[in-house]
Amino acid sequence: MEVILLEDMTGVGHKGATVNVKPGFARNYLLPNRFAIAAGTNAANLYKEVQRQKDAQSQKSLVAAQAEAAKINGFEINIPAQANDEDILFGSVTNGDIAEALAKAGHKVDKRTIELEDHIKQLGKYDVPVRYHAGVIATIKVWVVRA
């Protein structure tokens, strides 16, 4: 019996794959537990259409993320901060501060997409990655200068 898997199944197949299984396995386990749907039914056609639409939407969001990343990649911002004589900051520069500076420059970025390993605690130049989408990362240059 041919079924379309709705979940990854070890030893059977991956999600979305059309596989041929024994009728008893399909009737007694896969179908009642909603791990699969029968391949020749209207539900299977609907599932395929929904998957096609999801793939198209995912591709559209990937293209939009690549466009946004291209606009901001290599962008430089200055963040003024107070520091002592050894160039150590009184406080730190966080991803929220960077997002705020980018917003003032006209680039709206969510602070959760800015990936700082640790807060910036010294004056200087830093390369900061901004993750827009899985596999789409832009790098901005942040200059922390004395206020």
pLDDT in tens, 86-103: 999 999 999 999 999 999
pLDDT by residue for the chain (147 residues), tens only, comes to: 999 998 999 999 998 888 999 999 999 999 999 999 998 878 888 888 888 999 999 999 999 999 999 999 999 999 999 999 999 999 999 999 999 999 999 999 999 999 999 999 999 999 999 998 888 999 999 999 998
CA distance 111 to 77: 15
pLDDT in tens, 57-78: 999 999 999 999 999 999 999 9
- Which domains are present in the chain? 2-68 (3.40.5.10), 71-146 (3.10.430.100)
Q: Can you give the three-state secondary structure of 69-106, one letter per residue?
A: HHHHCCCEEEEEECECCCCEEEEEECHHHHHHHHHHCC
pTM for this entry: 0.68
